[in-house]
A and B are shown apart, each in its own frame.
Chain A
């Protein structure tokens, strides 16, 4: 149990729709990272938020956007959904300090795009 929660657990959308996924970080953590995990693959980094600002982005198009709130919780928004967006979306929280960044993952949101 990492203390990182995500909602919803599962979601079914149709192509072209928009979706918002939510994440509550572990107590004491100020950084949230989002990852996309396709079936049978390792997670791919989408972006990271630190102190309500985007702090690094992976190779994902602008229709993937996010927010971080003053309580360090976060949202991932995806516009104009495509079939290939079907995946497990993982949120990880961490405390940015020191020379490395240990990340603790939530259970994920399974998104299916039809």
Chain B
């Protein structure tokens, strides 16, 4: 069973602060996706990383895939109240598990004005 451990589980910060969310596994992933989910809605895809060591930026969000493709991080610079939500990482191992996403348990981020 592939497991994705996400940390921290909860994060409560003030507007303007920086934060990092981590996603770790003992499994190697062919791709890893980050999603943001708001209450009562489905997850919204933020980014997909596929190459070990890859770094992608989306405005104030920076995503990194570990060299061994077993871990990933999401860094938010100067957080804003609009960043509040549940952040989920999800990995795909490929092969016979192609298309099957294994999700972490999520990080609930609250940014206070």
The answer to whether A2 touches B99, judged by C-beta atoms less than 8 angstroms apart, is no
The answer to whether A99 touches B45, judged by C-beta atoms less than 8 angstroms apart, is no
The answer to whether A55 touches B42, judged by C-beta atoms less than 8 angstroms apart, is no
> B85-100 vs A: 1/0 string, CB under 8 Å?
0001010101011111
> A49-86 vs B: 1/0 string, CB under 8 Å?
01000011010000000000000000000000000000
**A42, B31: Cα distance in complex, Å:** 17
Chain B nearest CB, measured from A108 CB (Å): 5
Closest-by-CB residue of A relative to B30 is A100
- Count of chain B residues with a beta carbon within 8 Å of a chain A beta carbon: 29
Given A41-B106, A100-B48, are A31 and B99 neighbors across the interface (CB < 8 Å)?
yes
Chain B nearest CB, measured from A46 CB (Å): 10
**A43, B40: Cα distance in complex, Å:** 13
The answer to whether B50 touches A42, judged by C-beta atoms less than 8 angstroms apart, is no
Give which listed residue, B4, B41, B99, B105, contacts A48 with CB less than 8 A: B99
The answer to whether A102 touches B105, judged by C-beta atoms less than 8 angstroms apart, is no
The answer to whether A58 touches B100, judged by C-beta atoms less than 8 angstroms apart, is yes
Chain A contacts to B: CB under 8 angstroms: 2, 4, 6, 31, 33, 35, 40-45, 48, 50, 55-56, 58, 90, 92, 94, 96, 99-108, 110
